[in-house]
Amino acid sequence: MYAQMIKSEATLDDPEKLAAFQARIDAGDKIEPKEWMPEGYRKTLIRQIGQHAHSEIVGQLPEGNWITRAPTLERKAILLAKVQDEAGHGLYLYCAAETLGVTRDEMTEMLLDGRMKYSSIFNYPTLTWADMGAVGWLVDGAAIMNQVPLQRTSFGPYSRAMVRICKEESFHQRQGFDIMMKMCKGTEAQKNMAQDALNRMWFPSLMMFGPSDKDSTHSVQSMSWKIKMNTNDELRQKFVDQTAPQAEYLGLKIPDETLAWNEEKGGYDFAEPDWDEFFEVLQGNGPCNVERIEARQKAWDDGAWVREGLMAHAEKRAALKEAAQ
Amino acid sequence: MSDLKKEWPLWEVFIRGQHGMSHRHVGSLHASDEEMAILNARDVYTRRNEGVSIWVVEAKHIGASSPDQKGPLYEPSNSKVYRHPTFFDIPDDVGAM
């Protein structure tokens, strides 16, 4: 999901090897870490899987924000489990990226110093409990749209991570929709809160798929390498087609006056998000960019003594064990 | 800047899904020692009851065949089709075999 604007890296490899590699991909082979691959393929994947992993980890912050304030103990336990899943998803993905020759620490440092990004969506605040519903329903819904086809991606470890993630992801979307249903059947004030969450999350969710195909310059190489399976606009259309009837079911109104079923194309017509806002958020100027990176930096700095201490302990124990033998 | 050499080692995780099945590789993780690797594997790979037993082994201890050796390594079995039962034509009259 969570991979936007991934620049395809140029590749300067031997044309013969490149052609053989492309033939393997076209034949549906999976590429495994120790096999030959073009440098551009490796670099693009590190960037994409890294961004995907960072998104899972940073994505815990807006939801973690509501764990202590969940309305019931059951909701709290569910949200806690969901946020724990996101940590797990981040870890699966970091491991997949590491097989390409980058270390976990290097990736963390690239996130903290801005060389690597995470999805724009997590730079928006979660202001009310209804946002937990909207995030699960829309943000995880959009993530699923993107991740399901990525199960077929050409890089073995990435594909296997996606299979695990997709298995767990539908719980996330359902728990979000369940929150929305509950609120929409509640008091007028609760329903308004749900509507307000949809109003704020709708366009940022559409932005998750990345810029329009006409402005998306990096797609061609990634698609032929099967690192990217669908174009941004294809997935966005699919998402709107799936989500619009769900909003109707909830009795909520999608904040887009132009949204209408188009019989001829067999899909909805809808307004594009404000792309200037999208690029601003990517540049670091969204509502929560600074806060998110500060939180990650703090976790990294505050955790340093734990990382070092446990390693020192392990080394000491290993030395004692060796001495005893 | 962190000291990259101090990164926790990488462990490969194997899980037995049910009694009677073999352990299967499910992924990897970082941990400072074996005990922590098992606890982390519990949290990362069995959140939905996926296992009844966990093995962890430090990734550096795993020996692996090289992808370049694929041809010479597996060729000997390619030419021995008679190892498959379907190689032999047994008449229907013989009954189940």
Compare CB distances from B32 to A106, A304, A314 and report the shortest one's residue. A314
The residue among B12, B44, B24 whose CA lies nearest residue A89 is B44
Q: CA A238 → CA A139, A209, A231, B96, distances in Å?
A: 14, 11, 11, 52
Q: How many angstroms separate the CA atoms of A258 and A179, rounded? A: 27
Q: CA B24 → CA A94, A160, B14, B16, B45, distances in Å?
A: 20, 13, 5, 6, 12
Q: Which residues of B touch A307 (CB under 8 A)?
A: 2, 6, 8
pLDDT at position A47: 95
Substitution target from A17, A35, A95, A296 for chain B, most B beta carbons within 10 A: A95
Residue B96 lies in a domain: no
DSSP letter for each residue of A252-318: ---S-TT-EEETTTTEEE-PPP-HHHHHHIIIIISTTHHHHHHHHHHHHHHTHHHHHHHHHHHHHHH
Compare CB distances from B44 to A91, A307, A310 and report the shortest one's residue. A91
Q: Which residue of A has its CA nearest to B32?
A: A311
- According to DSSP, the β-strands at B10-16 and A260-262 are unpaired
Residue B3 lies in a domain: yes
pLDDT beneath 50: ranges in chain A: 1
Q: How many angstroms separate the CA atoms of A296 and A289, rounded? A: 11
Residue B88 lies in a domain: no
Whether B29 has its CB under 8 Å from any CB of chain A: the answer is: yes
Q: What is the ipTM of this complex?
A: 0.87
- pLDDT-wise least confident of A20-29, A270-279, B53-62, B70-79: B70-79
SS (H, E, C) B18-70: CCCCCEEEEEEEECCCHHHHHHHHHHHHCCCCCCCEEEEEEHHHCCCCCHHHH
Q: Which residues of A touch B6 (CB under 8 A)?
A: 307-308, 311
Contact B2 A36 (CB under 8 A): no
Residue B50 lies in a domain: yes
- Taking CB atoms and an 8 Å cut-off, how many pairs form between chains A and B? 57
The residue among A201, A188, A205, A207 whose CA lies nearest residue A251 is A188
Q: How confident is the model at residue B5 (pLDDT cuts 50, 70, 90)?
A: low
The residue among A60, A235, A83, A75 whose CA lies nearest residue A144 is A235
Substitution target from A29, A31, A92 for chain B, most B beta carbons within 10 A: A92
Which H or E element spans position A72?
A: none
Q: Which residues of B touch A88 (CB under 8 A)?
A: 43-44, 47
pLDDT at position A213: 87
Compare CB distances from A103 to B1, B7, B67 and report the shortest one's residue. B7
Contact A317 B33 (CB under 8 A): yes
Residue B26 lies in a domain: yes
Residue B97 lies in a domain: no
Compare CB distances from A313 to B1, B32, B64 and report the shortest one's residue. B32
Q: How many angstroms separate the CA atoms of B29 and B56, rounded? A: 10
Contact A310 B30 (CB under 8 A): no
Q: How many angstroms separate the CA atoms of A49 and A228, rounded? A: 11
Average pLDDT over residues B39-55: 94
Whether B38 has its CB under 8 Å from any CB of chain A: the answer is: no
Q: How many angstroms separate the CA atoms of A170 and A189, rounded? A: 28
DSSP conformational letter for A228: S
Whether A321 has its CB under 8 Å from any CB of chain B: the answer is: no
Cβ-proximal residues to A43 (8 Å cutoff; 6+ apart), any chain: A9
Assign residue B20 the CATH number of its domain.
3.10.20.520
Residue B92 lies in a domain: no
Residue B72 lies in a domain: no
The residue among A120, A103, A148 whose CA lies nearest residue A3 is A120
Q: Supply angle C-alpha B13, A304, A165, rounded to 5.
A: 35
pLDDT at position B2: 46
Say which amino acid occupies B10.
L
pTM of the predicted structure, to 2 decimals: 0.92
Our CA-based measurement puts residue B9 at a distance from the nearest CA of chain A, in whole angstroms, of 9
Q: Which residue of A has its CA nearest to B8?
A: A311
Cβ-proximal residues to A235 (8 Å cutoff; 6+ apart), any chain: A145, A146, A209
- What does the block give as tokens for A51? 């961004």
Q: Which residue of B has its CA nearest to A158?
A: B27
Contact B32 A160 (CB under 8 A): no
In the numeric block, the tokens 């819904």 are attached to: A141
Our CA-based measurement puts residue A107 at a distance from the nearest CA of chain B, in whole angstroms, of 11
pLDDT at position A156: 97
A80, burial (CB in 10 Å: exposed 0-12, middle 13-18, buried 19+): middle
Whether B57 has its CB under 8 Å from any CB of chain A: the answer is: no
Q: Which residue of B has its CA nearest to A99?
A: B28
- According to DSSP, the β-strands at A267-269 and A260-262 are antiparallel
pLDDT at position B76: 80
Count of domains for chain B: 1
Q: Which residues of A touch B50 (CB under 8 A)?
A: none
Cβ atoms A287, A125 nearer than 8 A: yes
Substitution target from B7, B24, B38 for chain A, most A beta carbons within 10 A: B7
Domain of B21? 1-61
